[in-house]
Amino acid sequence: AEQQLGISGITDGALAEMSANVDNIDYKVAAEEEKRRRHDVMAHVHAFGIAAPQAAGIIHLGATSCFVTDNADLIIFRDAMDLLISKLVVVIDSLSQFARTHRALPTLGFTHFQPAQLTTVGKRATLWVQELLWDLRNMQRARDDLGFRGVKGTTGTQASFLSLFNGDDEKVEELDRLVAELSGFKGKSYPVCGQTYSRKVDVDFVSALSSFGATAHRIATDIRLLANLKEIEEPFERDQIGSSAMAYKRNPMRSERVCSLSRHLMVLIGDVLQTASVQWLERTLDDSANRRIAIPEACLTADIVLATLQNVVEGLVVYPQVIARRIRSELPFMATENFIMAMVQKGGDRQECHEQIRVLSHEAAAVVKQQGGDNDLIERVRKCAYFAPIAGELDSLLDPSTFIGRAPVQVDRFLANFVAPALAPYADIIAQKKPAELSV
């Protein structure tokens, strides 16, 4: 770019030699130089100069270390987020298929992890999908908002480049735009910076990943709870061992792993926030060591969480009979309002009916809680002369499908109106998805 804009001394031969040796890195020489000079970038500048001697005098011309490191980080962030987004959309697509398949399968809802009104297996899955869609929005936005540090000089004033171009302000701006363009940022570089780009950019980037960690933890926790109820299980291979001592166990180990790693992913944003908050004036070096650990770890952790989540989601096993049995144990209490309405339609008194149901419900609850028996409320209602007018309607009044409201329609419309448009830009990625294989 500097040659194109007229900087003398940058020959075609020097550029060709640099290009030919881009991957010819002598790490031994670089390590020796770094130990000697205590400067990682200058160590590689010297090593590169040895590999490309014609260019030794122009490498790093007008630049500062952060021209190399910050711009390289931004390229890595962009490419890393592309990889993570490609995995996230596959998880969303697979979980959406699960929701569609089980859109109308009634299941007991839980609030406070106590039995509540019915929902459907598919509707519950849409709650997970919705949060993943928000993560997709956040990650895509963080990726698209990335700019390039560009050509800004030692403290962001571009003084060195202004000197190279003999005070030609327009050429300095064009160099900044051109370098960003050649680096794949469509000419978009941050308009101002100090020596580094603002570490607020790191906050935006890692925030999206940490937020996804919260979603993944929530989904995996729900699956673990449902596995305890034996309603839904993560995949479990034929020869898999759940416990070295208890041979019968089928532990939700993959979901547990998602939770474990997600906790780590969630807390990494703390490092990034603290680093952004203590950047003195034009910059201070105490950001460097921390972010070299925290940000790569955030990307790597998000990557394995996504792979594990895909494996779990695509292998989920549903046990309808177990779900139905739990519904039968709780539905009689939930159906009492329906019994009252049916009796009133037959001419009964609402308050008298309520009292009759209250007494029978407490008797049935005592059998369940004090005697460890099954919920026999329906049999008590059948045998009660007061409820004779609706005895023939009890089965229809207890049909679980009449207790799920608009859940199946909600699933259909959510998938059509929100999921499909969100995934449309990634259709090619989804079409090429492959199973996520895990060794452990």
433's CB contacts (< 8 A; 6+ apart) are 90, 93, 94
- Interior/surface letters 149-172, b for 16+ CB within 10 angstroms, e for the rest: bbbbbbebebebbbebbeeeeebb
Strands of 352-432 (E only): list them. none
Torsion of CA 289, 292, 295, 299, to 10 degrees: -150
Spatial contact of 59 and 52, defined as CB atoms under 8 Å apart: yes
Which phi and psi (to 5°) does residue 5 adopt? -95, 10
Q: How far apart are CA 125 and CA 198, in angstroms?
A: 39
365's CB contacts (< 8 A; 6+ apart) are 333
Q: How far apart are CA 9 and CA 371, in angstroms?
A: 94
First-last CA distance in the chain: 49
Q: Count Cβ atoms within 10 A of the Cβ of residue 125 and give its class: 0-12 exposed, 13-18 middle, 19 or more buried.
A: buried
Spatial contact of 334 and 403, defined as CB atoms under 8 Å apart: yes
Strands of 279-422 (E only): list them. 317-318
- Cα 78–80–86 angle (5° rounding)? 105
- How many Cα neighbours within 13 Å face the side chain of 434? 2
- Helix 336-345, helix 320-334: angle, nearest 10: 50
Q: How far apart are CA 348 and CA 342, in angstroms?
A: 9
Residues labelled as active-site residues: 112, 243
- How many Cα neighbours within 13 Å face the side chain of 400? 23
295, two tokens: 């940000």
Spatial contact of 176 and 185, defined as CB atoms under 8 Å apart: no
